[in-house]
Every structure is written in C-alpha cells, then in structure tokens.
C-alpha cells in the first residue's frame, strides 16, 4: 500500500512538471524575431533597389557615350570648312535630337576656331527619359583639317607619310578588302627615323586592334637592319591588303570566340612607329566602313499637319556606330476601286526623320521605309501599321441681306465637303457644324445634323444683329481593305477643314476661306 502511494505521488509529480514546462515562444521572443527579420529584409530590398538603379544608370551612361562618340566621329569625318554651327547645307545644326530606345538625346554643339588647321568642338548632351528625368554630359574635342596633317611626326620622332597614290582617299567608303571604286584596299605608308636612329617596330591599328590582311596576318612589323634601305633610316610598308571583315578573339577560351572586329561607320587608322630610342610617332587616316546593311526601321507614322500636306515620321535607324546614310520612302495612294498606285521612292538624308508631302483632300495613303548605307546597301522594307487618311476639304460661300420692317438679316450659306477618293464600304454621311470661333465650341446645324449629300444650302435669320460663323463637317465612313490586308467593320469619323467666317456686314455672295482647324 505504501509502495502504491509512493508510485502515485511520483506520477503526480511528473505530470505537474510537464504542465509547468512551457516550451512555446513568448511575445517578447516573437517581437525580437520579427525585428531581426525586418532588418534582414530591409537590407535585401535595399541591395535589390541599389542594383536596379545601378543597372539603369549604366544603361543611360552607355547610351550617352555611344551617341557622343557617334556624333564626334561624324563631325571628324566632315569637310573641315563645314565644321561650323549654321543653317547652310552640310553645317552642324544648333540642336540635334536622336531617339535611342526609350531615351531622347539632344546634342547642342558650339565650334570655336583654334590655330591654323584646328577647330575646337564643344557639345552639351542631354538625355531625357520618358518620365521626364534628365541626365547631362559635355565634352570638348579638337577637330583637325586632315588635308594639313597627312604627314605627321612627334617632336624627336620619325616622320610618317601615307601613300596617297595607292590608298583610298580620306573618308572613302570601304568594304571587305575593296573600296568604292572597286580597287583593292591596300594600306600603304612609309617612315623615316631621325639621323642616327633606326626604326624598331611598326603597327597599324584601328579602335585598338591591329589590322589584319586577307590571310589573317596582323599589321605588325619588327624591323631589322636588313629591312632598312642602305644608308637611310627609311622603312616602307610591305604589300598589305586590309580585310575590314577581320575577326578577333573576344574571350580567353581555347579556342577563343572570334567575332567581327569593326562595326560599320568611321574608322580611324593609326600607324605607330617606334624608333631605336623608344620614341613613338603616330599618324591617322580615316575611312568609312560599310560591310553591312543598316538596321531595319520601325514602322513609320503619319499625321495631317496643314492644308494639303501630311508629315511622315520615323525613328533614327543605326548603321553600325553611325546613323543610316539615308532612307528610301515609298508612298502609295488608294484609288476608288481599291487598287494602290505607287509614287517614285523619295530619297531622304540620314539625319532627317520626317518628310512633308503634298497630299490630296480626303485621300488615303500608305508609306514604306528602308534605310540605305553609304554604298547603297539596303535594310528590309518596313510598312506602316495602317494607312492614314487626309482631312476632307471644304469650300463655301455666304451672302447676307436685310429684309422686312423692322429690319432683320438673313444669311444664306452654301457649303461643300469633298467625298472620299478611296474605296469605302457602304455609304458616307455628313454632319455639318457651326461655331462662333475657329476653336469652337461646335454645334450641329439644325436640320443638317446628318445628310447624305456633301453639298448643302443653309439659311438662317440673324434678327437684329448679323452673326458670323465658321463651318466644318464630320464625315462618317467605313474604309475598304487596307494596303496591309486589314479589313474594317466599324465606321470612322473624320473632321474636315474649316471654312469661314461669314461676314458681319450686308453684302453679296462671297467665298469663305478654308482654314486648318485649331
């Protein structure tokens, strides 16, 4: 009995011990854990935000750098006398705007004269993001008159001469191992060391890479005494045909990945001559590479901008490191039967991204665009997403007369709006409106809110005071099949040009002036 009681007591003690053992977390412990988690999460989010911002900033810096380099290269390739800010053909515009992806970049140059054969180009560059944020940079470079610097040397260095009789002219278009005339792209130069010295090494490079010939050999020479003409310190470059399609390694793999070395655009060749005293001399020669067709354009857009005119616009197209040399713009017009007639292609300079064309009233047009390289390589042709339709033209006359006693004034207005010159599906309706101001507000003319006839004669009483009005017409129609095959099932409504105002004095019939709407 005693043993049983003792056993029961032990059991009760163990149960009580278990009940007192609280293995859960207290509120304090939960709060401490939450604080620690919050601190860690905040740090991670901060690092993520910082990384994202750094990526965005790096992209903006890259865009700015590329645009600046492209602009400078283009200026360096210009005739020296044209490197001026002005409005004459070939000169630099006071402001140039370029669109690169989601960024708009504005370049504002200034040019100041330096010593003979030199000019100083200073550019202010502003990059604007779609949300309005901006980033700016500026730089100053010296522009040389290359015709004065064909033979160059540095103080105490060798004298270098490019062989103009063999090489392509400065800024000549080159491609593959040829230049525009079809001649072989031979690079030729000579160098003469100062008296008492010999030429030790020569390298010809562009963009930091030695040139390669059609066999893959680099334009690098280590000169020995046996290669120097007897009694002189002159070195003449061996026969070397540059292959502008050369490839160089871009990584340290074995074998390395080989990619084309040069993009299309201005390439400055630099010959570096080192003499026996370790003194370097350099000389430059600029050529225009054109191995590849320009990028494909984005679809152009169009807008009605003035009486009898439309403006076609597109984004800048790149050709390597420079903008495309030009564009071929083809415009088609639809006829009443639905066929499309094609006008001769327009040639547009590369720095231009808009073209203003004469258009007919209430006509339908479609544009195609392709970019052209300096030697005539063409990108693929890109068509508009949809055609565009010009505003209907209007005309009219008005006359006001005084009648009755007491006098009241009656104005008679004859109005006409042009019918579509293109294919439509179904009928066309015309809703005439009037306003006391060119900017509106517009109200429907009584009894002429919807008519089938594009010509109306409208009379209204002015009572005791003559009132002047402007008139326009809202034309509703369903266009036929588009040039790209799109079919339309719902009507479109297009506002016409405006005519007016009618006169505030009593007079015979006078023609109303056609105006572009505000």
- Domain for residue 111, yes or no? yes
Mean pLDDT, the chain, rounded, equals 85
For residue 259, the enclosing domain spans 150-289
Residue 358 pLDDT level (bands cut at 50, 70, 90):
very high
- Domain for residue 40, yes or no? no
Kindly state the average pLDDT of the residues 443-454.
86
Higher per-residue pLDDT: 17 or 71: 71
Is the bond preceding residue 361 a cis peptide, omega within 30 degrees? no
Residue 459 and residue 345 in one domain: no
Residue 139 and residue 201 in one domain: no
Could you tell me the CATH number of the domain that includes residue 461? Answer: 2.60.40
3-state secondary structure of 138: strand
3-state secondary structure of 244: coil
Residue 381 and residue 399 in one domain: no
Kindly state the average pLDDT of the residues 406-429.
91
Measured CA to CA, the distance from residue 280 to residue 157 in angstroms comes to: 6
Residue 366 and residue 404 in one domain: no
352 with 333: CB under 8 angstroms?
A: no
Looking at the 3D structure of the chain, how many domains does it have?
A: 4
Residue 398 and residue 318 in one domain: no
Residue 369 and residue 321 in one domain: yes
Q: Which of 106-115, 208-217, 399-408, 457-466 has the lowest mean pLDDT?
A: 457-466
Predicted confidence (pLDDT) per residue in 321-344, tens digit: 889 999 999 999 999 999 999 999
Residue 181 and residue 236 in one domain: yes
Helices (H) then strands (E): counts for the chain: 2, 38
Residue 230 pLDDT level (bands cut at 50, 70, 90):
very low
Mark out the alpha helices in 337-419 (DSSP H runs). none
* Residue 514: count of CB within 10 angstroms of its CB: 17
Residue 161 and residue 285 in one domain: yes
Q: Which of 42-46, 114-118, 358-362 has the lowest mean pLDDT?
A: 114-118
Q: What was the pLDDT predicted at 227?
A: 47
- Domain for residue 311, yes or no? yes
Domain end point (choices 269, 289, 309): 289
- Domain for residue 134, yes or no? yes
* Residue 116: count of CB within 10 angstroms of its CB: 7
Residue 123 and residue 98 in one domain: yes
Of the candidates 70, 131, 129, 75, the one whose C-alpha atom is nearest the C-alpha of residue 102 is 129
Mark out the alpha helices in 210-337 (DSSP H runs). none
Secondary structure letter of residue 488 according to DSSP? -
Residue 158 and residue 284 in one domain: yes
Say whether pLDDT at 172 is over 80: yes
Residue 410 and residue 366 in one domain: no
- Domain for residue 19, yes or no? no
Domain end point (choices 262, 289, 316): 289
Strand partners for 373 = none
* Residue 451, token pair as written in the block: 């008519």
Residue 158 and residue 281 in one domain: yes
Query: Does the predicted TM-score (pTM) go above 0.85?
Result: no
According to DSSP, the β-strands at 280-289 and 173-175 are parallel
104 with 131: CB under 8 angstroms?
A: no
Could you tell me the CATH number of the domain that includes residue 360? Answer: 2.60.40.10
């Amino acid at each position: 009995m005693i043993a049983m009681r003792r056993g029961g007591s032990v059991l009760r003690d163990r149960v009580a011990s278990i009940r007192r053992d609280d293995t859960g977390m207290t509120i304090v412990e939960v709060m401490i854990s939450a604080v620690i988690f919050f601190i860690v999460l905040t740090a991670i989010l901060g690092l993520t935000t910082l990384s994202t911002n750094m990526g965005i900033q790096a992209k903006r810096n890259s865009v700015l750098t590329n645009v600046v380099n492209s602009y400078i290269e283009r200026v360096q390739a210009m005739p020296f006398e044209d490197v001026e800010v002005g409005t004459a053909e070939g000169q630099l515009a006071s402001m140039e705007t370029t669109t690169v992806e989601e960024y708009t970049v504005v370049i504002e140059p200034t040019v100041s004269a330096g010593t003979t054969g030199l000019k100083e180009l200073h550019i202010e560059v502003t990059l604007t993001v779609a949300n309005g944020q901006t980033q700016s940079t500026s730089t100053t470079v010296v522009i040389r008159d290359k015709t004065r610097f064909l033979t160059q040397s540095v103080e105490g260095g060798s004298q270098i001469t490019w062989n103009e009789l063999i090489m392509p002219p400065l800024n000549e278009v080159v491609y593959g191992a040829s230049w525009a005339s079809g001649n072989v792209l031979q690079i030729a130069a000579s160098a003469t060391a100062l008296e008492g010295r010999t030429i030790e090494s020569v390298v010809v490079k562009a963009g930091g890479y030695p040139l390669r010939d059609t066999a893959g050999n680099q334009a690098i020479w280590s000169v020995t005494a046996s290669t120097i003409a007897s009694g002189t310190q002159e070195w003449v470059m061996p026969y070397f045909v540059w292959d502008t399609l050369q490839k160089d390694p871009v990584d340290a793999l074995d074998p390395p990945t080989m990619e084309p070395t040069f993009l299309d655009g201005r390439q400055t060749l630099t010959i570096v001559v080192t003499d026996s005293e370790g003194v370097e001399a350099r000389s430059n020669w600029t050529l225009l590479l054109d191995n590849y067709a320009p990028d494909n354009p984005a679809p152009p857009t169009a807008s009605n901008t003035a009486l009898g005119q439309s403006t076609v616009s597109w984004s800048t197209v790149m050709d390597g490191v420079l903008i495309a040399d030009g564009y071929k713009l083809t415009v088609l017009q639809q006829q009443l039967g639905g066929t499309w007639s094609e006008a001769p292609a327009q040639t547009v300079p590369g720095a231009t991204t808009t073209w203003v064309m004469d258009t007919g009233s209430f006509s339908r047009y479609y544009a195609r665009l392709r970019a052209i390289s300096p030697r005539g390589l063409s990108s693929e042709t890109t068509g508009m997403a949809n055609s565009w339709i010009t505003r209907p033209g209007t005309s009219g006359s008005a006359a006001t007369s005084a009648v009755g006693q007491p006098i009241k004034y009656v104005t008679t207005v004859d109005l006409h709006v042009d019918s579509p010159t293109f294919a439509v599906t179904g009928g066309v309706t015309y809703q005439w409106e009037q306003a006391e101001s060119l900017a509106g507000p517009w109200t429907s003319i009584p009894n002429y809110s919807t008519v089938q006839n594009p010509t109306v004669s409208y009379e209204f009483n002015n009572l005791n005071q003559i009132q002047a009005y402007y008139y326009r017409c809202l034309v509703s129609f369903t266009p036929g099949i588009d040039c790209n095959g799109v079919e339309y099932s719902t009507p479109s409504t297009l506002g016409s040009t405006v005519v007016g105002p009618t006169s505030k004095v009593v007079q015979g019939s006078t023609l109303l002036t056609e105006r572009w709407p505000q």
